[in-house]
Amino acid sequence: MGGGRWSAQDWKSYSARNILNKSAATGAGGIYSARTMAQHLDPNGVIRESRDSADNPNSTPIMVGLDVTGSMSRVLEAMARNGLPTLATEIYERQPVSDPHILFMGIGDAHCDSFPLQATQFEADIRIAEQLTALYLEQGGGGNGEEGYALAWYFADRHTSIDSMEKRGKKGYLFTVGDDGPTSVITKEQADRVFGDTIAEDLDCEQLLKQVSRKYEVFHLCLEEGGSSSPQVTSSWKELLGERAIPLMDHTKMGEVIVSLLQVLGGADKRKVAASWDASTSLVVSKAISDITVAGGGSDSDSGSGGLITF
């Protein structure tokens, strides 16, 4: 999947019909109207493909996993209203990567939610928005200090096939966003129920991280606004991911932060990247990218030729 190209005019038409006419008073539920998981978003037994095409000859897969548990509806609304158009438009304008293919995931709680993971196709045009807003906001969660973020890692590792890696040896990018702690383990039962897979033993998050990091550059955006966010949650992510645990002061700036991370990881100067946004956004971006380092050149040079840190 992943034909076509993102168009500002297509977004304008789509958002006028499906997003801007929804009152802010209705919240995310006014945009995401599904009452159960759509069959085409079920990750069980599927492979999502990011393939090169005439439109996108050097495809770059970008996966964004959004927490859809009870405290996170504001994040889903922000992504639909402003995050997605910013993400897509700015990637094309700033060109930190080539030919973006974007896939969204809805992340719940593997222990107690009926639909702990949903996954769209990789798309490059307005179908990104159509599939994003088809996600089901189960708004569950179990109050157990973690959500199923590692389900996104498992899916990326075992249920995607990407030309960027298979043809060019270039990793994709995987961002999860949420306010809770990392998943401790994916059990054999969960692998079977959610993905239709038989695995020999339970997988802890460190194992999963090593596996998915062979294929994707992995980040988690740690929400700092309300919900389950706390210094302890951030600390647990820092312990697991190091500098790739990204502080997110303002959830409405997700798109800008992701684009900025892609720029810095491509070798752009962090100070110049932060300064390229308006004042309020610049503060959010500056904090988010402050700890990122780039092997083989340093992220405060403007050579554009740096290499990514690796696990």
**DSSP letter string over 117-135?**
EEE---BSSTHHHHHHTT-
Instruction: Mention the CATH class of domain 8-264.
Output: alpha beta
Stretch 114-118: mean pLDDT, rounded? 95
Stretch 202-222: mean pLDDT, rounded? 96
What is the pLDDT confidence band of residue 246, given thresholds at 50, 70 and 90? Answer: very high
Residue 309 confidence (pLDDT) above 80: no
Residue 298 confidence (pLDDT) above 90: no
Stretch 173-185: mean pLDDT, rounded? 93
Per-domain residue ranges for the chain? 8-264
Residue 125 confidence (pLDDT) above 50: yes
Query: Looking at 80-223, which runs of residues are DSSP E strands?
Result: 100-107, 117-119, 160-162, 172-178, 185-186, 203-204, 216-223
Q: Rounded mean pLDDT of the chain?
A: 89
Residue 138 confidence (pLDDT) above 80: yes
Neighbours of 166 (CB within 10 A): 13
Tell how strand 185-186 and strand 60-67 pair up: unpaired
- The confidence score (pLDDT) of residue 142 equals 57
- The confidence score (pLDDT) of residue 132 equals 95
- The confidence score (pLDDT) of residue 183 equals 87
More confident residue, 170 or 224: 170
